[in-house]
């Protein structure tokens, strides 16, 4: 029985196995010939679909030949519970679990009996996404030995071909996220020193910019069918990839016309996205109090790092060319396979350590008298981690306090979007006379799987006042997870998807419910943050008003219109 490494990507997934000659990707899908020649021969699109006869469809078959499908399910991990596939409703966890189950099945078909794995996650992913990733792999019948940050995996793949002790910068820019991480590789041990990323910025967003640029010259696209829109999105993605090696490309349109796009036009449309890589690079260097000269090797992974403008900008910023010998499409999976061999005890001379990309803390009244982010586990702290901070009430007569568990950034205002409240608990204080006697200690214990244990204790006696586990997924009721796993097994065994209800919100009129679901699962995951928040705000207004706010409904229709090619 073997252990494998899985890169569960936003747009593409790869499975690798560590063997006598090193880590090698396993062919788990069969791409069309014109995609295989573009470097996708060992890559499975992270796409799930359902045929008209109810058969589950995965990978290339779903991406190219299935109208009822869902893409980029990993982006839905952040906050969505369900997703619409055709006219049926699936929990996000179920779709992800089915994808993991299919990868496991295809790995077995390739002659590798793997039931244990290491799965990669973006360095900037929050606890929610980490936990959901591990749970979904588990519901697919895989024992997850560890979750490893994608940049760390890429560094391990690079260092397998270079035995020197080095300080590495990894820029991991794939289909959904951007991560920049600085690691120290010493004697086969990989230690994250700094990490910064952008959660929703990747190849999907480049596709969107290119599509909008092309569509601005095409009339009557609102008459395109769903199949025509899907055909156009595929043509746009392929054009983006070809423009990494060609100066121009012809994009076929569903109506029979074509549009010629040059690399210069593509660069102009996407330069604002490319420029955003500066901030995480500069932040990571600032975190280690060093300049670009302190970096020994620059590693670029993820499909977006194949774009010439991206490579040029990063190389110019760092004053060095990217390291050679690293396949941007498969390096993360290869590194995960190395990590899996370490975890299984097969590879003795290597190890790795993972750090936090976000701070964990609580909101408290500071010395200035205003509320502030009080850090308990800081950013860039090695995991697993345990830390304790003490707090006191603000008044002798106070009988309780509210402890809010927060993941985010202490350097931004507390109401900033980066600060996410994971849980909130009311704690009854000890019945004593003064503030000094009513103190509490708050302890956080955070593991590699994104599970946070919170303990609140009496500062004077040490007695525990409250203990909570912050882990989340489809439901806090683990029986629902068992039910999901059962449905996944049945679907894979019978190759039939059972009947389901529509994802439509029963509290909304049918047409409005469809519009809201379209916004949530077909459009918002593919937009940059500012635009996504604008549309998300309209959705909230509609849901709060049970669909009666007709002006908000019209505004949402107008907001979605420029992105009609996405649905």
**What pLDDT, in 10s, does the model give residues 270-294?**
999 999 999 999 999 999 999 999 9
Query: Which of the pair, 482 or 312, is modelled with greater confidence?
Result: 312
In the chain, DSSP finds a helix count (H) and a strand count (E) of 15, 27
Q: Are residues 445 and 512 in the same domain?
A: no
Is the predicted pLDDT of residue 203 greater than 90, yes or no?
Answer: yes
Cα(102)–Cα(46) distance, rounded to whole angstroms?
Answer: 11
281 and 427 co-located in one domain: no
Summary mean pLDDT of the chain = 88
Lowest mean pLDDT among 60-74, 285-299, 454-468, 489-503: 489-503
Cα torsion 345, 346, 351, 352: sign: negative
Share of the chain above pLDDT 90, in %: 54
Residue 260 is assigned to a structural domain of this protein: no
Whether residue 44 is contained in a domain is answered as yes
Q: Do residues 303 and 377 both lie within one domain? A: no
Residues 312 and 434 in one domain: no
CATH number at residue 190: 3.30.420.40
Domain count, the chain: 3
CB 441 within 8 A of CB 488: no
Q: How confident is the model over 31-60, as a mean pLDDT?
A: 94
Question: Do 351 and 367 reside in the same domain of the chain?
Answer: no
b/e sequence 66-75, b meaning 16+ C-beta within 10 Å: bebbbbbbbb
Whether residue 289 is contained in a domain is answered as yes
- My answer on whether 309 and 397 are in the same domain is no
- Does 233 map to a domain? no
Residue 503: pLDDT over 50: no
Extract the tokens encoding 83.
């997703």
Residues 147, 97: Cα–Cα separation, whole Å: 16
Q: What is the pTM of this model?
A: 0.81
Q: Which domain holds residue 161?
A: 2-202+275-355
In a domain, 155, yes or no: yes
Instruction: For residues 351 and 363, state if they share a domain.
Output: no
Size of the chain in residues: 567
Q: 397 and 436 in one domain?
A: yes
> Which pLDDT score is estimated for 448?
67
pLDDT in tens, 396-423: 989 999 999 998 889 889 888 778 888 8
What does the pLDDT average to over 512-526?
83
Q: What is the DSSP-derived secondary structure letter of residue 323? A: P
Interatomic CA distance for residues 333 and 4, integer angstroms: 9
Q: Are residues 301 and 445 in the same domain?
A: no
pLDDT band at 473 (very low <50, low <70, confident <90, very high): very low
Angstrom CA distances, 348 to 16, 109, 117, 556, stand at 19, 29, 17, 56
Q: pLDDT (tens digit, 9 = 90+) per residue, 306-363?
A: 999 999 999 999 999 999 988 999 999 999 999 998 888 887 666 666 667 689 999 9
Beta-carbon contacts of residue 418 (< 8 Å; ≥ 6 apart): 358, 408, 409, 412
Same domain, 10 and 146: yes
Residue 231 lies in a domain: no
Query: Which of 330, 355, 380 marks a domain boundary?
Result: 355
Task: Tell me the mean pLDDT in the region 552-559.
Answer: 90
Q: Using an 8 Å Cβ cutoff, are 326 and 310 in contact? A: no
Q: Tell me the per-residue pLDDT of 174-193, one tens digit each, with 9 for 90 and over.
A: 998 999 999 998 877 888 88
Higher pLDDT among residues 505 and 527, named by residue: 527
Q: Is residue 451 part of a domain?
A: yes
Residues 486-494: contacts with CB under 8 Å, at least 24 apart: 487/94, 488/94, 488/97, 488/98, 488/101, 488/139, 488/140, 489/101, 489/141, 491/56, 491/98, 492/56, 492/98, 492/101, 492/102, 492/105
Whether 349 and 462 share a structural domain: no
497 in a structural domain: no
The answer on 326 and 186 residing in a single domain is yes
User: Which residue among 469, 484, 514 closes a domain?
Assistant: 469
CATH number of the domain that 404 lies in? 2.60.34.10
Domain boundary among 454, 469, 484: 469
């Amino acid at each position: 029985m073997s252990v494998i490494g899985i890169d569960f990507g936003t747009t593409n997934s790869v499975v690798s196995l560590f063997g006598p000659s090193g880590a090698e990707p396993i062919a788990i899908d069969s791409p069309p010939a014109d995609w295989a020649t573009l470097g996708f021969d060992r890559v499975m699109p992270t796409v799930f679909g359902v045929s008209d006869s109810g058969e589950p469809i995965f990978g290339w078959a779903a991406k190219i030949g299935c109208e009822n499908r869902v893409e980029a399910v990993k982006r839905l991990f952040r906050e969505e519970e369900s997703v619409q596939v055709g006219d049926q409703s699936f929990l996000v966890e179920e779709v992800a679990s089915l994808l993991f189950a299919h990868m496991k099945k295809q790995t077995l078909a390739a002659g590798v009996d793997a039931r244990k794995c290491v799965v990669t996650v973006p360095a900037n992913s929050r606890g929610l996404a980490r936990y959901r990733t591990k749970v979904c792999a588990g519901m697919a019948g895989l024992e997850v030995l560890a979750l490893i940050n994608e940049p760390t995996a890429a560094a391990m793949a690079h260092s397998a071909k270079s035995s020197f002790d080095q300080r590495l910068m990894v820029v991991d820019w794939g289909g959904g996220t951007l991560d920049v991480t600085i690691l120290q590789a010493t004697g086969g041990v990989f230690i994250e020193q700094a990490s910064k990323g952008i959660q929703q910025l990747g190849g999907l967003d480049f596709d969107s910019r290119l599509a909008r640029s092309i569509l601005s010259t095409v009339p009557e696209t609102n008459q395109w069918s769903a199949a025509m829109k899907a055909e156009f999105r595929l043509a746009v993605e392929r054009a983006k990839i070809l423009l990494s090696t060609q100066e121009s490309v012809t994009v076929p349109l569903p109506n029979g016309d074509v549009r010629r796009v040059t690399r210069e036009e593509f660069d102009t449309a996407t330069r604002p996205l490319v420029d955003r890589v500066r901030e995480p690079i500069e932040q990571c260097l600032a975190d280690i109090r060093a300049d670009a000269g302190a970096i020994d090797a620059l590693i670029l992974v993820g499909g977006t790092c194949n774009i010439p403008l991206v490579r040029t900008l990063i190389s110019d910023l760092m004053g060095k060319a990217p390291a050679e010998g690293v396949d941007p499409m498969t390096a993360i999976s290869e590194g995960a396979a190395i990590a899996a061999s370490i975890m299984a005890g097969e590879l003795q001379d290597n190890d790795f350590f993972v750090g936090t990309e976000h701070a964990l803390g609580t909101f408290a009244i500071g010395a200035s008298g205003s509320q502030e982010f009080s850090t308990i586990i800081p950013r860039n702290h090695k995991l697993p981690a345990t830390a304790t901070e003490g707090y006191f009430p603000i008044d002798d007569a106070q009988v309780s306090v509210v402890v809010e568990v927060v993941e985010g950034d202490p350097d931004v205002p507390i109401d900033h979007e980066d600060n996410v409240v994971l849980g909130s608990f009311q704690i009854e204080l000890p019945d004593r006379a003064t503030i000094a006697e009513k103190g509490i200690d708050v302890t956080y214990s955070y593991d590699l799987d994104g599970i946070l244990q919170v303990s609140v204790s009496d500062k004077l006696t040490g007695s525990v006042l409250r203990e909570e586990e912050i882990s989340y997924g489809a439901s806090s009721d683990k029986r629902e997870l068992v039910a999901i796993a059962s449905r996944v097994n049945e679907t894979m065994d019978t190759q039939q998807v059972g009947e389901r209800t529509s994802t439509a919100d029963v509290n909304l009129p049918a047409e409005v419910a469809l519009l809201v679901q379209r916004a949530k699962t077909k459009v918002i995951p593919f937009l940059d943050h500012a635009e996504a928040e604008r549309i998300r705000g309209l959705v909230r207004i509609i849901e709060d008003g049970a669909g009666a706010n007709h002006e908000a409904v019209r505004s949402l229709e107008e907001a979605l219109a420029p992105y009609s090619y996405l649905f």
